[in-house]
Amino acid sequence: MPKANRRPLILASRSPRRRLLLKQIGLNFLVRPSTVDERFHDHESPRSGALRIAEEKAMDVAGRFRRGIVVGADTIVVVGREVLGKPETKREARAMLRKLSGRTHIVYTAIVLVDVETKKKTSEVARTKVQFRKLTTEEIALYAASGSPMDKAGAYGIQDDYGAVFVEKVDGCFYNVVGFPLSRFHRAYEKLLRELHR
């Protein structure tokens, strides 16, 4: 359990999975989604791009408060040299799933915590390898048609839906693939609280 904190914790995300994971470790928090454009820039590395977007989300929401610790997070999927964000259409979701089929991809999640009053920040980035089995055309079509891929980087969810059966192997943090690496978050949160209590 993180140390007692009198500052409100604010999650700068509308992700239901991130909310569930924070509740899982017993934290109370507010949800205030950011309005930041989550577009990845071609010149960025996956790690630096995820960090930039997570920080922009945290700072965007921090500007709306006088007090509190804001958590920004961003998850991206990389297959080969291509970065896959959230699909905008079911057709795009099908195309992403075809790219992932039978291959190993990398999931990056960056977490940035910002204290509103002091502007102190800390961050963590998790990296996990995920191996997909070969998917059939029918599986891809049915999963895309369900709408489930539409709010997920890489067009699949490992945690609570049919996307879980696509995954053969995970090398690294499982919760990173869900979109919020709890161990990295805990480390960053504890570090920031220690700095604020000095």
pLDDT at residue 2 greater than cutoff 60: no
Q: With 60 as the cut, is the pLDDT of residue 4 above it? A: no
DSSP helix/strand/coil, 75: strand
Strands 167-171 and 30-31, by their bridges, are unpaired
Active site residue 115: no
**C-alpha to C-alpha distance for 2 and 38, rounded to whole angstroms:** 29
* pLDDT at residue 129, rounded to an integer: 98
Residue tagged active-site, from 74, 115, 160, 171:
74
Residue 136 pLDDT level (bands cut at 50, 70, 90): very high
Do residues 113 and 189 lie in contact, with contact meaning Cβ atoms separated by under 8 Å?
Answer: yes
CA 195, CA 124: separation in Å to the nearest integer?
Answer: 16
Residue 118 has a pLDDT of 95
CATH class name, domain 9-196:
alpha beta
pLDDT tens-digit series, residues 104-113: 999 999 999 9
pLDDT for residue 75:
93
Which residue from 128, 174, 166 is spatially nearest to 144, judged by alpha carbons?
166
Mean pLDDT, to the nearest integer, of 142-158? 92
Of 5-9, 130-134, 160-164, the range with the highest mean pLDDT is 130-134
Mean pLDDT calculated for residue range 45-61: 95
Select from 60, 63, 70, 61 the least CA-distant residue to 22: 70
Does the predicted model carry a pTM greater than 0.95? Answer: no
In Å, how far from its chain's centre is CA 121?
18
pLDDT score, position 52:
96
Mean per-residue pLDDT, 69-96: 94
Predicted confidence band of residue 67 (pLDDT cuts 50, 70, 90): very high
